Structure 1
Amino acid sequence: MQSTKPQTLAYGLNDSPAGLATWVVEKFRSWSDCGGDVERRFSKDELLANIMIYWTTETIGSSIRLYYEDMHAVPSLSLNQHIDVPVGMAVFPEDFIPPPREWAQRRLNVQRWTEMPRGGHFTVMEEPDLMARDIRAFFRPLREHPA
């Protein structure tokens, strides 16, 4: 729905706090590494804070539009182009679309590839320490050896 009719979804979610809460919690349950028990990974306070940010700012529409744009965008690179900027990839096992390593390395200047032991789509909320350590490890050699 996010990738096909995001504006229709946005109107409904901006109009119903119960609908918005249901949608957001379902995504946290489905897209996180919680084994079907969302409260195993997120407290009610964390979930409610996330929902309230969307509700008070009416930004659920802009947050889901990315999925539509991603599915409908014309690729900006041709098949033979390569991005030379150093890239670090942290791949979380329960993220819903993990990138294939071979594809990433063919198109990007992958300097660090980390397959995380746990985590899903909401990586910063689920595994903040793992993510922070990996970001630091990626940038450390770049800082020590400027281009």
Structure 2
Amino acid sequence: MAPTHEHPGEYAAEDPIRLLDIRDTPLSLDEVFRAVGDDAAGGTALFVGTVRDHDGGADVDGLGYSGHPSALAELRRVAEKVAADHPVRALAAVHRVGDLSVGDLAVVVAVSCPHRAEAFAACRKLIDDLKHEVPIWKHQRFSDGTEEWVGAC
């Protein structure tokens, strides 16, 4: 329902989901940031997940992400729930699959809202729910030759 107030930017946009993807090519901060640009938004929160060089005290050489065929549909479901529960003006989320090296971008999510506190809350909910609910798995390779699979990332 569209607001009838003088300043509709104080509310969620009618269709705030601007970019959702799971891809095997490098991610772009600029692409995600541009996707959530909205003149009615006073706050934009952006989260970037990168491949770190260690995990649980072990040195990480690299990792690979694999996604279930339903991953994009689940990402959409998560994004729609965040947009329904927060006054989101614009939302974007992109996750990488395939082999990544230390320092590579693994996931980028961003949310713009009328105010900063709302943007922070919505962005945190988006990345937390993505990590827990979207079927993407991480296969870590350690420098000692061992490896491990980690559940939904």
TM-score range, shorter-chain basis? under 0.3
Q: Which has the larger radius of gyration?
A: 1
Of the two structures, which has the highest relative contact order with CA contacts closer than 8 Å and spacing of 6 or more? 2
Normalising by structure 2, we get a TM-score of: 0.26
Q: Which has the higher helix share?
A: 1
Report the TM-score when normalising by structure 1.
0.27
